[in-house]
Amino acid sequence: MCNLKDLDDQESVPAGVYVPISVPVHLLNTDSSITCRAYHLTNQPQTDLHAGGGQEIIPHDRQPSQTYLKVLVKGATESGVPDEYIEWLRGIKHNGKQVPAMEAKLELDKVQLS
């Protein structure tokens, strides 16, 4: 990956907030798997998000920022991810936080969320 350092910096890896991990992702359209980079929060909260209840039970402080969701939507769109998945991303509940300097740098002004 040519932008790996930029991704790590964006995810606060140097500050120890997240650690990069490799995860297998199954591609339905080709029935194959690829290894993808993901970021794991180093200081895990005590809230059990696997207890059920969907997005409604995610505490406000554990919801992604609005800026982060825009990054995901833009990246998915540019990468040709299926529209259904992009619409699902747009519907994720966010905490409303924005990082205007990052949004300007990444040209996120036209990215729409639900």
pLDDT of 114 > 80? The answer is yes
pLDDT at 106: 92
pLDDT at 50: 64
Q: Which residue has the higher pLDDT, 2 or 53?
A: 2
* Nearest residue to 65 via CA among 17, 6, 2: 17
pLDDT at 7: 84
Q: Which residue has the higher pLDDT, 54 or 2?
A: 2
Catalytic residue selected from 11, 78, 84, 87: 11
Q: What share of the chain is helix, strand, coil (3-state, %, to 5)?
A: 40, 20, 45
Q: CB of 71 within 8 A of CB of 65?
A: no
pLDDT of 111 > 70? The answer is yes
pLDDT at 56: 60
Please check if 68 is assigned to a binding site.
Answer: yes
Q: What is the mean pLDDT of the chain?
A: 87
Question: What are the start-end ranges of the H helices in 1-114?
Answer: 4-10, 66-78, 83-90, 100-105
Q: What is the pLDDT confidence band of residue 28, given thresholds at 50, 70 and 90?
A: confident
* Nearest residue to 48 via CA among 40, 58, 60: 58
pLDDT at 98: 94
pLDDT of 61 > 90? The answer is no
Q: What are the boundaries of each domain within the chain? A: 45-106
- Is 84 marked active-site? no
